[in-house]
Amino acid sequence: MAIRQIRTIGDEILRKECKPVKEMTPRLKELVEDMFETMYETGGVGLAAPQVGILKQIVVIDVEDGNQYVLVNPEITETEGEQTGPEGCLSVPGKSGTVTRPEKVTVKAFNEDMEPIELTGEGFLARAICHECDHLHGCLYVDKVEGELEDVGEAEEEE
């Protein structure tokens, strides 16, 4: 496993559409492991493949609910309600902003073994799912910020 370099705002790869994963190769499994390691090392709660320079539809999430989520080719199929709150991103270091997201989302995806899964998340998990899925389509949270971006201390950053 290895820590990967996180691409930051201004890097054109963050604005590109990611390609679906056709099969889980040993190299992509290694990518998933590296993404978790990179996310933990940098204090994030989610990481999408384009953030480490790979244009594949792969997301990892750990919102400290006892689960590690791997979403391959995720597609949000249902949303409910709304929540407005602060959001940050490892690709936009030192900043945060207020974003409105669904309170509850359901996503269809494949796990790291390419088995179909369906996940319903509420609250912070729903926010993380939406945030990470946006990355796969070249969208950053700064595109959805209500008001101005704010400077944050390193300890407050999240994804």
Active site residue ranges: 132
| Residue 104: its H or E element | strand 104-110
Closest Cα partner for 114 from 76, 71, 50? Answer: 71
* Cβ atoms < 10 Å from Cβ of 62: 18
* CA-to-CA separations, 71 to 6, 99, 134, 143, 156, in angstroms, rounded: 19, 22, 13, 23, 26
Phi and psi dihedrals of 103, rounded to 5? -75, -30
